[in-house]
Structure 1
Amino acid sequence: MFTFNVIEKTTLFTCWIALFSVAAAHNQLQNHKTSKNAKPNFVYIIADDQDAATFNPELMPITAGWLSDGTNYTNFFAPVSVCCPSRVSFLRSQYAHNHNITDVVVPYGGWDTFESYGYNGKWLPSWLQEAGYQTYYTGKLMNGNNIMNAVTRPTAGFNGSDIFLDPYTYSYINTSISHNGGPPIKNTTYSTDIVRDIGLGYIDAAVQSDQPFFIGLAPIGPHSQSLPAPPLPYRFFPPVSAPRHATLFNNTLAPRGNSFNPDWPSGASWVRTLAQANETVIEWYDYWYQQRIRALQAVDEMVGAIFEKLASENLLNNTYVIYTADNGFSIAQHRRDPGKGTGYEEDIRVPFMVRGPGIEPGINEVTAHNVADISATIANVAGAEADYDIDGRVMPWGSANAKTRDIGTPTHHLSEYWGTTIGETKYTQGIIYPNNTYRTLRLIEDDNNWAYTVWCTGERELFNMKNDTTQMHNDLEGLGVAAQSKFFNSTLSQAARVASRLDGLALFLKTCKGADCRFAWKHLFPNGEVTTMKQALNTVYDQYFDRLPKIQFTSCDLGYFNAHELPYWSTNLAFFHDLDTPNITLPLYKRDPEAYAWLQCGS
């Protein structure tokens, strides 16, 4: 997967082993220590645009060493594959169709839109404060925190904050910061090192208090450098590393999987129209990748510094340390320019690893979770409450302390997107790719691992992720169910049978709210006949799923307009036993002609 010269590889491996030893020594040292706080602390580290593939010991040895005592969730996803909406899903523990922050700029996203909805102060840090926590945050919060509104629209809910401000958020060496809601302050220290140093200071402040704490650390690495460039709002450049890392990974190439710049078109919508990149472009892509992983080295060092500080303050035994990212990133997959914004794995699968009290070391490969679940779990463990019904599920590492909420069924995840997307290199500056509105459902169980996407163009994709991890073979290709039609036909193929189930599940999830989102199968099958995909694939349910109306978009909107995404879920669509015909299962159509007629119309 990676290509190193001998010196690079030997040095990295040696450092990795040494750092594992240091981490293990600290772990043993902390075993007999306790914190003065009864409630646990939280350190939340969120990288920017880091795909799951770049979260590995070879590229981030320090982080891997310290988190080796934690659980690695390998099926963790972004609810929206772009930063601002995904970050709001964390802060509010909601799907994007509920918080309706769907873009990075007004009118559909950004800080001003977030604040205008009344969300400022009604989010995780505020819940934690009410539960007795000191809360701190530094780095990037979301797009739209800028030098014009830093004072007029300051963030609420933090005891201490140092928020990066646009238009300099993505400048690695010329950052503008608002300290505790104050006016912009310029800082020319390397951006990730700023986050590190401020974070260490927060720990110093927190230990002076008898209260438990939450500290959010949000470096911009490995996001592309982005600077104002009229007439474009911004122009993208490769990420910038700290000078100390500038010569690393000189021979490392972007991963060459089956979907890397393929010989034939793949994907759907605008993706399928892309031309194959030539060697000159691919060389630029490799350089872009090198800069991404060089920028990650300062993030890796920051994680180590935070762990060292927690260890020195006797806090490791009572602190959960979380590492994740807001969305993924792709380079040349399906011929795409470096960037994000689609429902393919590179864009939505992100790292998630947590270490803390009661967490067993290992890998969780079965359950599927998303960014909204993080805040739900933190709140649950901290004994904090939102003043609305949140969508997120309590993850297994926090379920032992569950008091008021059920965990739900952690086997499905819905990624959503509305609008357009862009490429980020010099070869695509200014190009906007339209028709990028879609819903992607990921379902993961022991026997089933599927990715199903409905595009606003009417196209549908189904990938069996057990044997097609690069998503190059759409199982619906060439079938009638791939076109815009109202219903499925399970007699066409096994793929059609699978798609009918996934479409039905997504039909419910696309407008779900609160606790309902955690129990999708229960709403399709109120009597409990089906709780897994394996059960749903029983042929006895073919007629039910085939006759459910399919998800359809009436237009490719730039924002979320639910009237343009039909049909709406209704309890009349749920499955019921027909009590007059034992051993035969039928939907409610027989008893409710109006529901049957409505279903036939598919609207």
Structure 2
Amino acid sequence: MKTSSLRTKFFVLIMIGVLLVGELLLAPQAALAQTSKPNILFVLVDDMDADTINRNPEKYAPNIKSLLIDQGVSFPNFFVNVSLCCPSRVNTLRGQYAHNSGILTNSRPDGGFRKTYAQGLEKETIATSLQANGYQTALIGKYLNGYPDTAPSDTYIPPGWTEWYSPMEKGKKKNKKYGNPYAQYNYTLNQNGKLVEYGDKPKDYGTDVYTSFAVDFIQRSAKDGKPFFVYLAPFNIHGPFTPAPRHEGLFPGVKAPRPDNFNEANVSTKPQFMQKLPRLNQTQIDKIDQKYRKRLRSLQSVDEAIGKLVDTLKANGQLDNTYIVLTSDNGFKQGIHRASTGKLTAYEEDIRLNLVVRGPGIPDGKKLPQQVGNIDFFPTFTDMAGVEPPAFVDGRSFLPLLKRTTPNLPKWRSAFLIEHKQDPKRDAALENQTKLVQDLSEPEDQLELEDLSELQSLQEGGQVPKLPTYQAIRTQDYTYVEYKTGAKELYNIKKDPYQLNNLASNADPALLKRLAKRLNKLRTCQADSCRAIEEQPFTS
């Protein structure tokens, strides 16, 4: 009995010692985890208007709803400066309004990868700032329209990216066809300096491939113990709206939303270029419904990606230390104001998008009313990382809103600038749509790959307005637009959310003067002056 009692006591002492040693060994790791910089996962969907998710998130985006919207903060008043792919993505990478970056269109001479590269804009981006401060960075998916044409080589990788997985659009060899990544199959991917061709099998589906690279990068970064920044940019839900095979039969019979401005009955108060659009006929409406179903199906692989990424973060002990940010580069019209397709306008469907953020210290299921924009991502991400953004940045960090560290908000934006420059080359392509759609043997000489789906839509009888150059501002209550032609639009968003009644010709002259004055200041603002002008109180 005595021997047994001694053995028991000895065993208990050994176990206590093991536990103490274990705690001592784990203590440094816990301290390191607490002081580690947070990770950032940025998911930028292509051409996703807000209503695609908002109409029925539980049905059409269940993972985005349960894992992001319900467990994070949404910004119903998130806007893009230019509702077009390349300018919007440069807004994000540089934190600048388009009049400061100089990137206003998707192709030369006013935009695209070529101009971005020629101007040296890639030398200072969110990627270079984070990488210089210890972050592992990865761009996975879509970069800029026309990449990597005019770069030193077809395997060119911009500064700031630790790893790079982006498909080719145009290269140095003009007779070399790299495929069309918008179609999700038969594309060529630059994988860290090596060109890899993908085929037409289910395993080659673009968004699934990009997701697998993101998962692998997160796993390796977590193992290395280094903070990471993932910029995941699938081509969904951009045309041709190709779904993964497993999603092809979903949502039979679903129709595009029919808000009050769908196939608008009376456009007499709108500018001439909008009045020229006839009302949509039933055939055109049927096409819109078909494409809407394709867009929903295309969204499913993105929604699944969110689930896989959250699972990966959780399995690797990184979920509680990672900011996840989901948004889109621009909106998309589907029968709105008689336009069967397209973007570019200052109407809500093109500029007002979803933005959802979850992460450390962010409350669950909240909506914040403040105006935020895509020029704010750069300073927000650097704020998350504890890094000062460059002086040229026009945007502002919205992290204090997320963290609720500025509850009274003594200063915040009261107006956001919207810009668009007419692209004569693109307009010529639209006017000559039949020839271009039928003769795509040399599409790179005529238009960007992303325009092919819109041209196909026009060939099938669709219609879009021929949009002049414009600048606009969006306040909490109003959208005010000035076109190069002299036309103007003014909408009271609170009273007229579908922008049916253009008030420009009969509004209070004092109100028009205040809006015009604020717009005139913002259209030439730079850095600090942008923020100062935005913060000036605006009374309606």
TM-score by length of 1: 0.72
The 5 A counterparts of 1:399-548 are 409-420=412-423, 424=454, 426=456, 428-429=458-459, 434-444=466-476, 449-477=477-505, 479=506, 493-494=507-508, 496-520=509-533, 531-534=536-539, 537=540
Deviations 1:16-70, CA, capped at 9 Å, x for gaps: xxxxxxxxxxxxxxxx999466111100000000011112323211111101110
Higher mean displacement: 451-460 or 378-387: 378-387
Partner residue in 2 for 1:213:
228
Structure of higher RCO (CA pairs closer than 8 Å, 6+ residues apart): 2
Q: CA RMSD in A?
A: 2.5
1:391 aligns with 2:390: no
Q: Which of 129, 132, 143 is 1:130 aligned to?
A: 132
Match of 2:353, SS?
Answer: coil
Describe the superposition over 1:207-256 as per-residue Cα deviations: whole angstroms up to 9, x where unpaired.
1223211011100110002xxxxxxxxxxxxx111111111111111110
Aligned residues of 2:362 and 2:403 also touching (Cα < 8 A) = no
Secondary structure of the structure 1 residue equivalent to 2:121? coil
In 1, Cα distance between the equivalents of 2:403 and 2:72?
16
Contact 1:151–1:182 (Cα < 8 Å) also in 2: no
Query: For the residues of structure 1 that align with 2:396 and 2:498, how far apart are their CA atoms?
Result: 28
Partner residue, 1:300? 303
Spell out, residue by residue over 1:434-473, the C-alpha distance to the aligned partner (whole angstroms, 9 max, x if none).
44211121111xxxx1111111111111111112111000
The number of equivalent residue pairs is 462
For 2:53 and 2:526, locate their aligned partners in 1 and report how far apart those are by CA, in whole Å.
32
Contact 2:277–2:465 under 8 Å retained in 1: no
Deviation at 1:202, TM superposition (A): 0.8
User: Post-superposition shift, 1:398?
Assistant: 6.2
2:13 maps to which residue? none
TM-score for the superposition, normalised by structure 2:
0.81
What residue in structure 2 maps to residue 543 of structure 1? none
**Quick one: distance in 1 between partners of 2:102 and 2:320?**
38
Moved more, 431-440 or 80-89: 431-440
For 1:185, the equivalent position in structure 2 comes to 197
Deviations 1:487-535 (A, max 9, x none): xxxxxx53x332221111111100000011112166xxxxxxxx4223x
SS at match of 1:291: helix
Seen in structure 2, the aligned counterparts of structure 1 residues 132 and 387 have a Cα distance that, compared at 3 Å, is same
Please say if residues 113 and 149 of structure 2, whose CA atoms lie closer than 8 Å, have aligned partners that are also in contact: no
Q: Is residue 2:181 matched to residue 1:169?
A: yes
Which protein has the larger Cα radius of gyration, Structure 1 or Structure 2? 2
- Alpha-carbon separation, structure 2, partners of 1:35 and 1:374: 25
Find the aligned partners of 1:401 and 1:41 in 2 and give their Cα distance.
20
User: Of 336, 344, 358, which aligns to 1:355?
Assistant: 358
- Contact between 1:337 and 1:425, CA under 8 Å: does it hold in 2? no
1:101-116 superposed matches below 5 A: 101-116=103-118
- For 1:376, give the aligned amino acid: P
Q: CA deviation at 1:320?
A: 0.2
- 8 Å CA contact retained: 1:408, 1:518: no
CA contact (8 A) 1:199 1:215 kept: yes
Q: Which amino acid aligns with 2:66?
A: G
CA drift at 1:296: 0.3
Whether the aligned pair in 2 keeps the contact of 1:35 and 1:317 (CA below 8 Å) is: no
SS in 2 for 1:283: helix
Cα displacement (A) at 1:301? 0.3
What secondary structure, in the 3-state scheme, does the structure 1 residue paired with 2:161 have? coil
The aligned amino acid for 1:60 is A
Q: Which amino acid aligns with 1:194?
A: V
Identity of aligned residues (%): 32
One-letter code aligned to 1:118: G
Question: Structure 1 243/475 Cα, relative in aligned 2: closer, same or farther at 3 Å?
Answer: same
1:320 to 317, 320, 323: 323
Q: Match of 2:363, SS?
A: coil
1:250 aligns to 2:248 (yes or no): no
Residue aligned with 2:254, SS = coil
AA matched with 1:223? H
Structure 1 residues 433 and 451, CA, compared in 2 at 3 Å: closer, same or farther?
closer
| CA contact 1:177–1:187 (8 Å) conserved in 2 | no
Tell me if structure 2 keeps the 8 A contact 1:324–1:352.
yes
Instruction: Name 1:64's counterpart in structure 2.
Output: 65
The change in CA–CA distance for 1:387 and 1:533 in structure 2 (over 3 A counts) is closer
Instruction: Please identify, of 83-92 and 204-213, the stretch whose mean Cα deviation from structure 2 is larger.
Output: 204-213
Query: Structure 1 320/521 Cα, relative in aligned 2: closer, same or farther at 3 Å?
Result: closer
Greater helix percent: which structure?
2
The match for 1:482 is none
Mapped partners of 2:158, 2:344: distance in 1: 27
User: 1:113 & 1:377 partners in 2: Cα distance?
Assistant: 26
Residues of 1 paired with 2:267 and 2:81: CA distance?
Answer: 26
Q: Secondary structure at the match of 1:497?
A: helix
Distance 1:159 1:78 in 2: 27
What does residue 344 of structure 1 align with?
A: 347
SS at 1:183's partner residue?
strand
- What SS does structure 1 have at the residue aligned with 2:198? strand
Alignment partner of 2:336: what SS? Answer: coil
Question: Which has the higher mean CA deviation after the structures are superposed, 158-167 or 93-102?
Answer: 158-167
Aligned-pair CA distance for 1:152: 5.9
Q: Once the 2 structures are TM-superposed, how far is the Cα of residue 387 of structure 1 from its aligned partner?
A: 3.8
- Inter-partner Cα distance in structure 2 for 1:210 and 1:243: 37
User: Unaligned 5+ residue runs, structure 2?
Assistant: 1-29, 170-178, 431-450
Change (3 A) 1:425 1:115: closer
Distance 1:157 1:244, change over 3 A: same
- The question of 1:273 aligning with 2:276 is answered yes
Deviations 1:332-388 (A, max 9, x none): 111012111111010111110000011112343421111110111011221223443
1:151 counterpart = 2:166: no
